[in-house]
Amino acid sequence: MKPSPYSLLVSAARLGVAPERCTLVGDSVSDVEAAIAAEAMSIGYANRAGKEQSLARAGADAVIGSMDTLADALRESPVV
């Protein structure tokens, strides 16, 4: 269970990529903590008012308030 990084580490291993090349999108502080523990990037999804600050304080690399923001960024990003 989060904040254990276990599920992230297993997922990265099954995909054959280093956890540092992965990004976890989550809506809780424990999601951000799991990403940090796995040495992955994290995007905090502030799906309710007031979550922005707690996700940022937890160390999220970015905080978004809308999944549309994430979808737009993914569409604009080159595939690596």
- Rounded Cα–Cα distance for residues 3 and 79 (Å): 29
List, for the chain, all residue ranges whose pLDDT scores fall below the cut of 50: none
Q: What is the pLDDT of residues 40-61, one digit of tens each?
A: 999 999 999 999 999 999 999 9
User: What is the rounded CA–CA span in Å between residue 50 and residue 39?
Assistant: 26
pLDDT at 21: 95
Count of beta carbons in the 10 Å neighbourhood of residue 4: 13
Model pLDDT, residue 1: 79
